[in-house]
């Protein structure tokens, strides 16, 4: 009973093992007082050590934030928000440890932003982040669109939506392009029912699942104004800004590295020029355009290597992993882009 | 109220009624073992009545017991006066059987069973159990209140 544990502080509050509470309060029989404790504030000394160090280590906050920094370029606002959520969850856990109850915080989120700004990528990570922080019990991500939620005839919608909600419990429900669920101009649309069920679950079963809605900013704004009560049930409205050319460059290099490609020194300059030109052209989709461009460069590289192998040249490992200046410069983007003549027609993403 | 017989079928039936948290923990145990969760209900308590009515489809794809508990509570709301049980089904090849099954809801009063003796040839007596509740038509048993 008298042994001291310098780092690991004893837990306090109802249900704590008596041996360890006695250590803090020093008087035997303290544990009995907790049995019908109405107001824990009264019986806990203000300077009681809550054992923050242990919880801080358990909560993996540093680990989570570091991995976010490594894996996501820019998005400072997003990272800051996740940092705040992480801190709140940790403090809540400390409060619960000494018996101060707090409501489960609302963690439903809405991600808005232009195409390719990383909404889906962040949502994918969110399940794991919240799991590590101990907020959700399983941390899996269930992706749903209108198709999965809204039924096709009367009485079909509720079971369908419930099925998806049940599957997402313990984890994160990600609704991409959420505004398609509800069409305000058609009052017989079954989407209304889905929205009602979502609202109810988002309010009453906050500890069972986290809902993340994502979509383009203007569409989402209209959706929220069409559905009263939805916006206020979402605690975190996070806007994903467009990337600057330097950030796009970092993204491109990170993507290339993760696919085991290397850029030749002069190719980096070419990529910079490419990105600057591409940003000004229509239908630029930030990170997604970068990924498509990289895929196109890989094809250019492949055909170049194929041709030189056909001419009898021996290929080396260096050849296979290097993207040359020429692979980038032959892109149509340098010739004014594929939309140069008729920008209205639907065309594939130029690269 | 007259004395009744608390029927004991499935696992845990000699224990006090499980709380919601205990039910949730048992369902989670099943999910973690990869078992499917099914909710069934009946108003015929005869021990040989193995085919209970299904409450919706068995849940093969849920990750968390909150989903199972949600269906238990929906079923309780619809049939407050019937027996409801949770079945956890192990679908592994060569097993393919219910691995764990327990009652989560029962009528407020369980009248018990009548013992019938049928005298047949050669002074043989055959015994039969008949639930008192089963004398009423299906759906009107247990005070007919659902």
Q: Please determine whether the domains at A60-87+100-240 and A245-335 fall in the same fold group of CATH.
A: no
b/e map A229-251, b = 16+ CB within 10 Å: ebeebbebbbebeebeeebbbeb
What is the sign, positive or negative, of the torsion defined by CA atoms of A225, A230, A236, A241? negative
Chain A neighbors of B62, CB-CB under 8 A = 166-167, 169
Domain borders along chain A are 60-87+100-240, 245-335
Look at B69 and A103; give whichever has higher pLDDT: B69
- What would the pLDDT profile of A82-95 be if each residue is shown by its tens digit? 888 888 888 888 88
pLDDT at B95 over 80: yes
* pLDDT (tens place) for every residue of chain A, 351 residues total: 444 444 454 555 555 454 444 344 444 555 555 555 556 566 677 777 777 777 777 667 777 778 888 888 888 888 888 888 888 888 888 888 787 777 778 889 999 998 889 888 888 888 888 888 788 888 899 999 999 999 999 999 999 999 999 999 999 999 988 999 988 777 788 898 999 999 999 999 888 999 999 999 999 999 999 888 898 999 899 999 999 999 999 999 999 999 999 999 899 999 999 999 988 888 888 889 999 999 999 999 999 999 999 998 888 998 899 999 989 988 888 887 666 554 444 455 555
Look at A38 and B92; give whichever has higher pLDDT: B92
pLDDT at B16 over 50: yes
Chain A neighbors of B56, CB-CB under 8 A = 159
pLDDT at residue A24 in the model: 44
- What would the pLDDT profile of A277-301 be if each residue is shown by its tens digit? 988 888 888 889 999 999 999 999 9
Could you identify the residue written with the tokens 């073992």? B33
pLDDT at residue A19 in the model: 44
Q: Does B63 contact chain A (CB < 8 Å)?
A: yes
Beta-carbon pairs below 8 A across chains A and B: 33
Chain B neighbors of A170, CB-CB under 8 A = 63-67
Neighbours of A217 (CB within 10 A): 15
pLDDT at B127 over 60: yes
pLDDT at residue A303 in the model: 93
Judged by average pLDDT, the poorest of A130-134, A204-208, B13-17, B94-98 is: A130-134
Residue A133 distance to chain B (closest CA, Å)? 17
ipTM field: 0.82
pLDDT at B67 over 60: yes
Q: Does B70 contact chain A (CB < 8 Å)?
A: yes
What is the sign, positive or negative, of the torsion defined by CA atoms of B66, A232, A215, A161? positive
Contact A138 B64 (CB under 8 A): yes
Strands A236-240, A109-113: pairing kind = parallel
Q: How many CA atoms lie within 13 A of A200 on its CB side?
A: 10
Domain A245-335 CATH assignment equals 1.10.8.60: yes
pLDDT at residue A26 in the model: 44
Chain A neighbors of B64, CB-CB under 8 A = 137-138, 169-171, 208
Instruction: Select from A140, A159, A165 the Cβ nearest to the Cβ of B63.
Output: A140
Q: Nearest 5°: CA angle at B68, between B65 and B72? A: 135
Q: Does A138 contact chain B (CB < 8 Å)?
A: yes
E strand intervals along A106-182: 109-113, 141-144, 172-176
- The topology under which CATH files domain B20-109 is Ribulose 1,5 Bisphosphate Carboxylase/Oxygenase (3.30.190)
pLDDT at residue A2 in the model: 45
Supply the mean pLDDT for chain B.
91
**Could you tell me which CATH number the domain at A60-87+100-240 has?**
3.40.50.300
């Amino acid at each position: 009973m008298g042994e001291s544990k310098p780092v690991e502080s004893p837990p306090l509050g109802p249900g704590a093992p008596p041996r360890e509470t006695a250590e803090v309060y020093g008087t035997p029989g303290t544990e009995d007082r907790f049995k019908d404790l109405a107001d824990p504030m009264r019986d806990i000394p203000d300077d009681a050590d809550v054992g923050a160090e242990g919880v801080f280590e358990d909560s993996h906050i540093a680990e989570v934030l570091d991995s976010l920094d490594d894996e996501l370029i820019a998005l400072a606002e997003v990272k800051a928000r996740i940092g705040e959520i992480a801190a709140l969850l940790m403090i809540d856990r400390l409060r619960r440890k000494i018996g101060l109850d707090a409501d489960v915080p609302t963690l439903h989120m809405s991600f808005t932003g232009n195409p390719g700004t990383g909404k889906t990528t962040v949502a994918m990570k969110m399940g794991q982040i919240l799991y590590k922080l101990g907020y959700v019990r399983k941390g899996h991500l269930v992706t749903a669109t209108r198709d999965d939620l809204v039924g096709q005839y009367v009485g079909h919608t509720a079971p369908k939506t419930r099925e998806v909600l049940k599957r997402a419990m313990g984890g994160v429900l990600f609704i991409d392009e959420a505004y398609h669920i509800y069409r305000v101009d058609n009052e017989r649309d079954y989407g209304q029912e889905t929205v009602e069920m979502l609202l109810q679950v988002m309010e009453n079963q906050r500890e069972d699942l986290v809902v993340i809605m994502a979509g383009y900013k203007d569409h989402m704004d209209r959706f929220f104004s069409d559905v009263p009560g939805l916006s206020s049930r979402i605690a975190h409205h996070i806007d994903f800004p467009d990337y600057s050319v330097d950030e796009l460059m970092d993204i491109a290099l990170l993507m290339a590295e993760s696919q085991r490609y290397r850029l030749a020194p002069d190719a980096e300059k070419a990529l910079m020029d490419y990105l600057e030109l591409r940003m000004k052209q229509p239908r630029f989709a930030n990170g997604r355009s970068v990924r498509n461009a990289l895929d196109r460069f890989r094809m250019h590289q492949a055909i170049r290597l194929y041709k030189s192998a056909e001419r009898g040249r021996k290929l080396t490992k260096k050849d296979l992993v290097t993207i040359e200046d020429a692979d980038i410069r032959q892109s149509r983007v340098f010739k004014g882009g594929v939309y140069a003549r008729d920008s209205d027609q639907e065309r594939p993403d130029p690269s | 109220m007259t004395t009744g017989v608390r029927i004991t079928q499935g696992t845990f039936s000699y224990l006090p009624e499980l709380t919601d948290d205990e039910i949730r923990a048992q369902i989670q145990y099943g999910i973690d073992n990869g078992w499917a969760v099914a909710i069934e209900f009946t108003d015929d308590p005869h021990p040989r009545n193995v085919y209970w009515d299904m409450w919706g489809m068995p849940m093969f794809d849920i990750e968390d017991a909150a989903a199972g508990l949600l269906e238990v509570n929906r079923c309780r709301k619809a049939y407050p006066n019937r027996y409801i049980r949770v079945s956890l089904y192990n679908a592994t090849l060569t097993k393919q059987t219910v691995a764990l099954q327990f009652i989560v809801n029962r009528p407020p009063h369980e009248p018990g069973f009548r013992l019938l003796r049928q005298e047949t040839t050669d002074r043989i007596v055959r015994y039969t159990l008949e639930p008192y509740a089963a004398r009423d038509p299906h759906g009107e048993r247990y005070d007919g209140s659902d």
